[in-house]
A and B are shown apart, each in its own frame.
Chain A
Amino acid sequence: MPVPWEALIPFGLLVTMFGTGGTLLNASKRAQNQGKPPRYHLDAWENMMMERDKRLTGHPRAQRDEPIAPEGFETSSVWYTEKVSYHYK
């Protein structure tokens, strides 16, 4: 008895497209977060800590557990409020 296999083609296409789209999106998010799942529900505290992580390590998701901060960390936050005229001294 002939089985209507042609009807399964659009079904297969939809499954493939949704699956590929979802997988690529997940892979893109993980690649932006150094291979880890992205952070969610970030409040002001978490954003402040991630900005501090970026000053310490160079990336908001990179972690380090050295007790002492690297050279230049103490003053690196002051860049944000520095006046441009200091460059021309």
Chain B
Amino acid sequence: MSNVYHDPAEAPQPYKEPTPLPDDIPKVPEVGATSAPLKSAAFFIGDYCKEYNEDFMLCKAENRDPGHCLKEGRRVTRCAIDLISKMRENCGQVFQDHWQCLEKNNHEYYLCRQPERALNKCMFEKLGLTKTIPGTPPGKTPIHEVRNPIYTSVQR
């Protein structure tokens, strides 16, 4: 009886935090993008926020206590919020086209290459960010740049 599941959508009053963080910790808003825009922006977040993400992962590797990596976590959140705002401002329509295509195709990248090419072009021109897939073998073209892939939505 004491640990009942409450659906937050049916709460009669807003949640009152019983143990809020102390005031000396800076308040950073959470990222408000849902899964499809985040998946669309994923490689660009990796390019733009590389140092902060690596700092956070190294900090977590030292100690997985949630209180240990708050500062690095705040930096990661701020960087992601910054990039998503810039993407919406500069490449808003192409970005929206790509994540709407992903949403209709089970969030599979290989089914949305055309909007992805437009987004990559716009991101490179406006913000100088490129999508690189880490771990591609040195001689091969990355799968997102292959012009006639084997695996498409319709079997060849």
Contact B33 A79 (CB under 8 A): no
Residues B34 and A79 in contact, CB atoms below 8 Å apart = no
**Does chain A have a CB within 8 A of B151?**
no
With an 8 Å Cβ cutoff, the count of chain A residues facing the other chain is 39
Counting chain A CB atoms within 10 Å of each CB, which of B6, B8, B84, B103 scores highest? B8
Question: Per-residue CB proximity of B1-33 to A under 8 Å, as 1/0?
Answer: 111111111010011011000000000011111
Q: Which one, A46, A56, A78, A82, contacts B34 given CB within 8 A?
A: A56
Please give the number of chain B residues whose Cβ is less than 8 angstroms from any Cβ of chain A in the complex: 38
Q: Is B35 an interface residue (CB 8 A)?
A: yes
Q: List 19 A-B contacts (CB under 8 A).
A: A36-B103, A39-B107, A46-B107, A49-B35, A52-B35, A53-B34, A63-B36, A63-B37, A65-B37, A65-B84, A65-B96, A66-B33, A69-B29, A69-B30, A72-B14, A73-B32, A74-B30, A76-B8, A84-B2
Q: Which residues of B contact A58 (CB under 8 A)?
A: 9
A68-B15 CB under 8 A given contacts A52-B34, A63-B103, A76-B8: no
